[in-house]
Amino acid sequence: MPIGICKFCGQEKELIDSHIIPKCLCAINKNGGMVGVNTKKKRIEIDAYHQNGIKEPLMCAECDNALGKFDGYTNRILNHVIPNLQPQGFMGGPVIVRYLKSDNFDYDKFRKFIISLVWRFSVSSNGPNLGKYEDIALKILKGEIKDDVNLFLPLIYRKITGISLIDDSTLCGHVKYLGKHTIIFKFPGYEIRIIINTKNSSDNELMQHFKTYSDINGIMITDVTEKTPTDNQLLNQFSECQKALFETEYGKKRLAAIKPKKNL
């Protein structure tokens, strides 16, 4: 194992390969292979978890394990608690949402998970430059400063389009959403968008609305049953890369294992 400075504790130690998106959240994929979309290099990575794009030596084993506790907890919430919550129409409309109330879960652990995702991505080699928010995230994780949902606001979507490539792919990306820097994490069954510093959004009303459903009283989880514009972008990128991959023996073999459930 390489020796280096652990990004979390700052000590010189043996570093282990840390997963940007926790491995446990990807292990539930029962639909075959997995693809990772590297938005920076604009390429699709087959079996991304066995490559360097999504895991890299960031932390010592001790720090990685400490953050891993939030991953394991959140995995249980996302994949066992949320799917069993009562579905309801959002404000009487056709959009299906579920509310995770504070008596169903440990808000603090869940918040630490959200912030650790942002932090891990930010310190990784493919991550975005978050400026001061990287350090703020680290200090919140260490308990040195108070958490603030206005700085890291998560929007949680269950992906149930029935299209394997959309529902089961893994991706860490960086977009502008409502005029704010937003990190997108996709992993089987979910897409989590985390808005960095919600102040001065291009749509303050909608932002306020999102905040109402992401506090200690409860978190809203929205079902996504149709392809979104981001999904379309993802699919376009995929088809661009698909042709090139099919020309290699390895690509042929791996792509055969990730045939979507439906025609795209």
Between residues 141 and 151, which has the closer beta carbon with respect to Zn ion?
141
Backbone angles phi, psi at 103, to 5 degrees: -80, -5
* 6 touches Zn ion (CB under 5 A): yes
Between residues 137 and 235, which has the closer beta carbon with respect to Zn ion?
137
Between residues 6 and 224, which has the closer beta carbon with respect to Zn ion?
6
* 61 touches Zn ion (CB under 5 A): no
* 113 touches Zn ion (CB under 5 A): no
Least distance CB 72 / Zn ion (angstroms): 19
Residues contacting Zn ion: total by CB under 5 A: 5
Between residues 21 and 58, which has the closer beta carbon with respect to Zn ion?
58
Q: Could you say which of 20, 48, 63, 67 contacts Zn ion (CB under 5 A)? A: 63
* 16 touches Zn ion (CB under 5 A): no
Least distance CB 74 / Zn ion (angstroms): 21
* 241 touches Zn ion (CB under 5 A): no
Binding site for Zn ion (CB under 5 A): 6, 8-9, 60, 63
